[in-house]
Structure 1
């Protein structure tokens, strides 16, 4: 069997947040995703693997020569961790070869995101690739695939308007806050988390106008650095309840794998500010804020799935660039597909020539034994050997050239399958060439 590129995953279009937050990578620290996930995958079954995880998707890309069994293993990988049971696997999607390639290229081009043209996704894909490379789970196929996909993403942003005025999830959260509060002027904002999402939320708030931003996180120096960056304030995490009682808006954006703001703590804070409303927007996955908080009087709670309404209102301009992006995507996928088919053809063609050479050598030896009574000299034997080699070369030259031509034309896969079937060629995973 030939190596095949595989994909299994879920995203914001197939799974609600209560499913996504229990997908396997989120039970461990984000920095250890590739290490923890790929360590559970059988390297004898999956020769390459890479995990892509963002707030809106968890996907495992892999390479295997045993497609059915490998896909089952990847799907099972989502069920082995806590909270993600087998029935929830209905939210998973899977793809192989070209369909998997097209999906990844769409992701890097920003057209498979909650926020059309999202600028963060390209960096997230790059980090996933770098992390898996550091763990040595990326081989030649996934290396080439992700390099090509990132190139497509760069082209989409450089050659079209898909990224013009593009939002991020944090930007959409601030827009939702403005929509719900009417204005952010004078608003007291508490940001939970000083990572990438928290930083973008703080920057968007700082650019928006006159609002007081307070940052808190378990590592105070990180909160202080972000607060200074946006001319805001930092508060120790131990004083969260006090800061909560003074806030009009709270944005949850930490990378914690569990809730950090429970309903009882919110209820206590609300008792100190009777009838004063509190808006909670949780853009973290897994969620930072207890969903039960929605039952507390004067509290409004929204999570990342609620941002869709805001996104739809602002995507019209970028929507016009979608056709151009899809054209780039199709071109880049086709280029990679031809490389991929040629790579798959190489071991088959090599196996064919190896088989032919073995037959030639055996028949040559048999013929020379039959002619032994003629006492042929070395020169005559070399002439016969050259004749046999020439026959093999001439017979295989045209089929090989035609196969390569069909690969270039994009219809080579049936010929690859026929070649393998007709000559019963068994190609091992290791028989790949760059």
Structure 2
């Protein structure tokens, strides 16, 4: 059987926010969904498995010796989740070297909505650590994800891929600037105190917003962020009052439900009928009722509306993208050579074991025939070393050439020939995939 790496998932390029938010609900719901997925990834089909889930992607990485069955099972698993209704229409699949290059691109930030974002590298690392702790991965995914983290670090340290709008929070403030003009002198409300909210708040402060108010369900976290940016912290109960005074609202919580509903926005606008309100909802699932976009004086943007800014950002950094692609190609080649050589190792090991059996048997036969000479221990060791040296030298060149063939992609016929010529009965499940 062919042991292969296989990944299936969906992301911001294939699925709109209304689909992605179904799995990226509150942490408890997300964890329940992922736990159900994980529990159904049977070891009979998947020898290794890891789930990477963020607000903009859900991807399942596996190692399997039953590729066709594994792909069908993954599709059924996605379709069977109540919180993922309709997700099957937006799925993509990667295998072999394409999978390696894709994961390396994800870790580097060039497959993200915000080109060069750094947060995704931490999310890849967290997914790897969780899988390692749960012991759902083995040597292949261990190596793959450690290499992916290394590639992400190289991309950010060796190129300018992270310059400019390299986070959703940064891009949200840039979009607000496009809509409102200069932010200096404006009153801003940030809802949430997580990574995206924190980055947005810090960028608002850097842009000179006159007042920044942080609303968070956990008051301590909100107060900490407010102190860092020279703002004020409030509880969710105070949102109606503050909404009527804000020019800009950026919401980025992890809540499973709407935070700002139509009634709340309608009441705020009634107090300020001639004063526009800009709402940026960068949460997944969404924090703000989409219907408020129809209200007079209200401009509502969600995370998918950042795409125009993202495209402009990408165009300005084509050179950095090319440099990252070069790093990915180099590192993907290195991993794939390791993967290919690893799969040839059982055949080489069986060949050496067969050669050792023959060597030991023939040496023992020779020593019995020379028994009348009463050879000393030193003499016996000399003969043993001689036989070992002959075997090693005979196998050295074929082993090297075989590894080279495997790494270059046409090793399977040589492995099969080797098995046949030396009568190696290797039922190890490590055949090379077709085309390798």
TM-score range, shorter chain: 0.7 to 0.9
The match for 1:58 is: 58
The match for 2:376 is: none
Distance of aligned partners of 1:269 and 1:417 in 2 relative to their CA distance in 1, 3 Å threshold? farther
Show CA shifts across 1:323-373 (max 9, x none). Answer: 222111111110111111111111243355667889x79xx89xxxxxxxx
Deviation of 1:224 after TM superposition, in Å, equals 0.8
SS in 2 for 1:72: helix
Could you tell me whether the CA contact under 8 Å between 1:194 and 1:215 is conserved in 2?
Answer: yes
Matches for 1:10-29 after TM superposition, within 5 Å: 10-23=10-23, 28=28
Show CA shifts across 1:236-274 (max 9, x none). Answer: 112222222222111111122332222232223222222
The match for 2:368 is: 379
Which whole-Å CA distance do the structure 1 matches of 2:366 and 2:394 have between them? 28
The match for 1:372 is: none
Consecutive unaligned residues of structure 1, counting only runs of 5 or more, are 366-375, 430-434
Matches for 1:272-283 after TM superposition, within 5 Å: 272-283=271-282
Deviation of 1:165 after TM superposition, in Å, equals 3.1
Could you tell me whether the CA contact under 8 Å between 1:50 and 1:138 is conserved in 2?
Answer: yes
Which whole-Å CA distance do the structure 2 matches of 1:175 and 1:126 have between them? 28
SS in 2 for 1:285: coil
Which whole-Å CA distance do the structure 2 matches of 1:259 and 1:220 have between them? 19
The match for 2:377 is: none
TM-score by length of 1: 0.84
Deviation of 1:420 after TM superposition, in Å, equals 7.3
Could you tell me whether the CA contact under 8 Å between 1:24 and 1:81 is conserved in 2?
Answer: no
Which whole-Å CA distance do the structure 2 matches of 1:417 and 1:309 have between them? 53
The match for 1:174 is: 173
Deviation of 1:33 after TM superposition, in Å, equals 7.6
Could you tell me whether the CA contact under 8 Å between 1:278 and 1:298 is conserved in 2?
Answer: yes
Matches for 1:248-287 after TM superposition, within 5 Å: 248-287=247-286
Which whole-Å CA distance do the structure 2 matches of 1:162 and 1:303 have between them? 24
The match for 1:105 is: 104
Could you tell me whether the CA contact under 8 Å between 2:4 and 2:63 is conserved in 1?
Answer: yes
The match for 1:373 is: none
Deviation of 1:299 after TM superposition, in Å, equals 1.4
The match for 1:370 is: none
Which has the larger displacement, 336-345 or 47-56?
47-56
Which whole-Å CA distance do the structure 2 matches of 1:108 and 1:14 have between them? 18
Show CA shifts across 1:194-214 (max 9, x none). Answer: 011110111111111133111
Which whole-Å CA distance do the structure 1 matches of 2:219 and 2:412 have between them? 57
Which whole-Å CA distance do the structure 1 matches of 2:354 and 2:26 have between them? 49
Distance of aligned partners of 1:381 and 1:254 in 2 relative to their CA distance in 1, 3 Å threshold? farther
The match for 1:49 is: 49
Which whole-Å CA distance do the structure 2 matches of 1:421 and 1:156 have between them? 45
The match for 1:426 is: 427
Deviation of 1:19 after TM superposition, in Å, equals 1.4
Deviation of 1:393 after TM superposition, in Å, equals 8.0
Deviation of 1:154 after TM superposition, in Å, equals 1.5
Could you tell me whether the CA contact under 8 Å between 1:30 and 1:255 is conserved in 2?
Answer: no
Consecutive unaligned residues of structure 2, counting only runs of 5 or more, are 372-379, 431-436
SS in 1 for 2:115: coil
The match for 2:340 is: 341
Distance of aligned partners of 1:428 and 1:316 in 2 relative to their CA distance in 1, 3 Å threshold? closer
Asked if 1:77 corresponds to 2:77, the answer is yes
Aligned Cα root-mean-square deviation (Å): 3.3
Aligned residues: 414
Which whole-Å CA distance do the structure 1 matches of 2:245 and 2:412 have between them? 64
The match for 1:68 is: 68
Which whole-Å CA distance do the structure 1 matches of 2:367 and 2:230 have between them? 89
Could you tell me whether the CA contact under 8 Å between 2:25 and 2:285 is conserved in 1?
Answer: no
Which has the larger displacement, 2-11 or 326-335?
2-11
Which whole-Å CA distance do the structure 2 matches of 1:377 and 1:412 have between them? 37
Distance of aligned partners of 1:25 and 1:268 in 2 relative to their CA distance in 1, 3 Å threshold? closer
Could you tell me whether the CA contact under 8 Å between 2:33 and 2:81 is conserved in 1?
Answer: no
The match for 2:434 is: none
Deviation of 1:378 after TM superposition, in Å, equals 7.6
SS in 2 for 1:259: coil
Could you tell me whether the CA contact under 8 Å between 1:205 and 1:211 is conserved in 2?
Answer: no
Distance of aligned partners of 1:272 and 1:415 in 2 relative to their CA distance in 1, 3 Å threshold? farther
Which whole-Å CA distance do the structure 1 matches of 2:237 and 2:348 have between them? 66
Which has the larger displacement, 20-29 or 88-97?
20-29
Could you tell me whether the CA contact under 8 Å between 1:252 and 1:281 is conserved in 2?
Answer: yes
Could you tell me whether the CA contact under 8 Å between 1:189 and 1:212 is conserved in 2?
Answer: yes
Which whole-Å CA distance do the structure 2 matches of 1:428 and 1:25 have between them? 39
Which whole-Å CA distance do the structure 2 matches of 1:230 and 1:39 have between them? 43
Could you tell me whether the CA contact under 8 Å between 1:280 and 1:301 is conserved in 2?
Answer: yes
Could you tell me whether the CA contact under 8 Å between 1:27 and 1:81 is conserved in 2?
Answer: no
Deviation of 1:287 after TM superposition, in Å, equals 1.2
Distance of aligned partners of 1:251 and 1:14 in 2 relative to their CA distance in 1, 3 Å threshold? same
Matches for 1:17-416 after TM superposition, within 5 Å: 17-23=17-23, 28=28, 35=35, 37-85=37-85, 87-351=86-350, 379-380=368-369, 399-412=398-411, 415-416=414-415
TM-score by length of 2: 0.84
